[in-house]
A and B are shown apart, each in its own frame.
Chain A
Amino acid sequence: MTTLKCLNKKRNKIRRRTVSQRAKESKFTVSVFSAALICVAGLLYVFQISGVATKGYEIGNYEKTLVELQKENQKMLIEIADLKSMNNLENESEKLSAIDYKDITYITSLSSAVAME
């Protein structure tokens, strides 16, 4: 009986020690786990921010490219306008030996059918 009680006491002590140890261990585990979670969350946040920053940088680059292309486009439109100016067209037509039209004959189309060949 005494032995049993002692044993039980010992067991209880062991259990208590184990439980308290377990409690300590579980607290420790929770702490470690929380810390790990926070680290992971922090890393994820950093990755996200850096991703956003990278995207922002890319967007900035695209915007610069857009502005450059718009400028190029405007330059080309002006070049086209210069080439399409009436003075230029007249000079080009002279170079191509184009001749003035004299009489124009107007043809009235009788039907809408058009021969394929």
Chain B
Amino acid sequence: MKKLSGNFRNNNNFIKRVQVLSVVVVALFLVVLLKLFQVQVINHNFYKALAQDQHEFFEKIIPERGEIFINDIYSDKIYPLAVNKELNLVYAVPKNIIDKKETAAKLSELLEMEREEIFKIINKKDDPYEVIKRKISDEAAEKIKNENIIGIKTSPEIIRYYPGNYLAANIIGFLGYSGHEKVGQYGIEGYYNEKLRGTMGFLELEKDSSGKWITFGSKSSQSPEDGDDIVLTIDQTIQYISETKLKEAVLKYGAESGNIIVMDPKTGAIIAMAQYPSFNPNEYFKEEDMSVFLNSSIHNVYEPGSIQKPITMAIGLDLGKVSPSTTYFDKGFLKIDGWPINNSDGKANGKQTMTEVLEKSLNTGAVFVQQQVEKNDFYNYLRSFKLNELTGIEIKGEAKGSLSNLDNKRDISYATASYGQGISVTPLAILTAISVFANDGKLMKPYIVSEFIGADGYSEKNEPKIVCQVVSPKTASLISAMMTSVIRNGHAKEAGVSGYKLAGKTGTAQIPKKDGKGYEEDKTIHTFVGFGPIPNPKFSILVKLDSPTNAPYAANTVAPVFSELSQELVNYYNVPASF
């Protein structure tokens, strides 16, 4: 019995221990199960992402940015204005550099940089990457590689390069940065950033633990689409001549700035668009005044002054209210709504024809024409010349002019508008309007992009567009003849070119005060607009100088520039003299 009960007790203890052990095991099992549930169900997405990061490889493939070209009509080839250039950058892995001072000394000679500057960059503990210098030539990069400096490496980089430097800078813009992303800014680079950038591609595949691609693993890819190349309507030679002449004029006449625009009046194609001061897009980061990046030919609005008079005259002629030989009596001044209006020469010229109004640039004559026309008609004609609308030119930053002063319907507002004060226009808008008279009365849409060329070679050409028939061909012809008389017989003789008939008009406009009413005392804007050679105009030109100090009137400043440029153009286009 004792033996039996002893055995029984032992068995009981054993069973109890087994039971306890079972409970412990089950409990442990439950803990593991719960943990598994937590990992595989609750945190499923987290661990899935972690695993994907380890064995999945994803890389964006950057497309090549499209390039920008301009024309050279004689070589029939295109000249690159903006290209992608492969250079090198030198970078350091500071944590691997043993002797930083010696490394800085070696690099200082090779990179032509200050030793202290290099030392400052590389003297960082545990830093895996620091760029020391960019845009290194292949030869310099090769020298650095051959030196085998520990912790110093080179890698290729693609940069945007502008071989023309300053040439057409305000047309192209530049490729800058927005955060870490390269973005076209201003000009064509900004306007067509999406087209030039192309479409990113990607490569997605599985990699093994050593980082190698698993051949039979899943993979997907999309080839990048390179950006479109853009060919401009700009002519390299005429652009260069315009920029040179403009810079000379700005410096000679002590102006603050200036513009020259050359356009084909028959198509609206922009042949040249110069601006001074300008900048070098290869070194845009050195400019302190960002306003230099804006294209003032399309961005700056101003009161055009007397170059408005041919438009006023055309309105009167087109409505049949006046003819070139219509006369009026010029007393030298007028008073409208209590405001005095004088001629610029202060003279009373007596009986004058409409042609003489343009030849002598008589403010009273312009008011006379405006007063023959209903105000609504006058306003509608100004609108049909698109003076207060965007031209749609493909450059970033275009502003539009304003005719809002005419909304008040006051006589004085319409009178001043007739000679180009109280309204505002951009240089491109007023040149486009004047070009109507060189094109049988048709207003053309100005454009600067001639062609897009896709990466696959597909070409998309831009065709000239007629906006509207503003005045009749007869009116255009009459105004053309009257403007030719301005150069031959009027006070714009300095704009003439011997042997050629050119049409033009000067404008010396007052500048409104920035703070307060009225105009600046001693500051004016000088403009000359014209076209030729008559009777078959190949070019229309605007020359503008802001606040020249060495001469009072446009006839002495911008008119000679127009003459020089026209001479270059007739020679360039091989146009023989007509008389």
Chain A residues in the interface with B (C-beta under 8 A) = 71, 74-75, 77-78, 81-82, 84-87, 101, 104, 106
Q: Which of A71, A75, A78, A101 contacts B163 (CB 8 A)?
A: A78
| B319 shortest CB reach to chain A, Å | 42
A74 touching B86 by the CB < 8 A rule? yes
| B96 shortest CB reach to chain A, Å | 29
B167 touching A85 by the CB < 8 A rule? yes
| A71→B80 CA distance, assembly (Å) | 16
Q: Which interface residue of A75, A86, A104, A106 has the most chain B CB atoms within 10 A?
A: A86
A86 touching B571 by the CB < 8 A rule? no
Q: Shortest 8 CB-CB distances between A and B: which pairs?
A: A81-B163, A86-B240, A106-B576, A81-B80, A82-B163, A85-B164, A78-B85, A85-B163
Supply 30 A–B pairs (Cβ within 8 Å), ascending by A: A71-B86, A74-B83, A74-B85, A74-B86, A75-B85, A75-B86, A77-B80, A78-B80, A78-B85, A78-B161, A78-B163, A81-B79, A81-B80, A81-B83, A81-B163, A81-B164, A82-B163, A84-B79, A85-B163, A85-B165, A85-B167, A86-B164, A86-B167, A86-B236, A86-B237, A86-B240, A87-B165, A101-B571, A104-B571, A106-B577
Which B94-141 residues have C-beta < 8 A from chain A? Answer: none
| A104→B570 CA distance, assembly (Å) | 10
| A67→B571 CA distance, assembly (Å) | 44
| A12→B334 CA distance, assembly (Å) | 148
Instruction: Find chain A residues with CB under 8 A from B577 CB.
Output: 106
Name B167's closest neighbour in chain A (CB-CB). Answer: A86
Chain B residues in the interface with A (C-beta under 8 A) = 79-80, 83-86, 161, 163-165, 167, 236-237, 240, 571, 574, 576-577
Instruction: Find chain B residues with CB under 8 A from A71 CB.
Output: 86
Instruction: Find chain A residues with CB under 8 A from B237 CB.
Output: 86
| B490 shortest CB reach to chain A, Å | 26
Instruction: Find chain A residues with CB under 8 A from B240 CB.
Output: 86
| A17→B86 CA distance, assembly (Å) | 84
| A86→B165 CA distance, assembly (Å) | 10
| A100 shortest CB reach to chain B, Å | 11
In the complex, besides A106-B576, A106-B577, 4 extra interface pairs with C-beta distance below 8 angstroms are A74-B83, A78-B80, A81-B83, A86-B240
Instruction: Find chain A residues with CB under 8 A from B571 CB.
Output: 101, 104
| A106→B236 CA distance, assembly (Å) | 24
Instruction: Find chain B residues with CB under 8 A from A74 CB.
Output: 83-86
Instruction: Find chain A residues with CB under 8 A from B164 CB.
Output: 81, 85-86
| A33→B415 CA distance, assembly (Å) | 112
Name A79's closest neighbour in chain B (CB-CB). Answer: B163
| A81→B163 CA distance, assembly (Å) | 6
| A101→B237 CA distance, assembly (Å) | 16
Name B138's closest neighbour in chain A (CB-CB). Answer: A75
Instruction: Find chain A residues with CB under 8 A from B83 CB.
Output: 74, 77-78, 81
Instruction: Find chain B residues with CB under 8 A from A87 CB.
Output: 165, 167
Q: Which interface residue of B80, B163, B237 has the most chain A CB atoms within 10 A?
A: B163
Instruction: Find chain B residues with CB under 8 A from A86 CB.
Output: 164, 167, 236-237, 240
Instruction: Find chain A residues with CB under 8 A from B84 CB.
Output: 74
Name B156's closest neighbour in chain A (CB-CB). Answer: A71
Name A84's closest neighbour in chain B (CB-CB). Answer: B79
Name A86's closest neighbour in chain B (CB-CB). Answer: B240
| A82→B79 CA distance, assembly (Å) | 10
Name A104's closest neighbour in chain B (CB-CB). Answer: B571
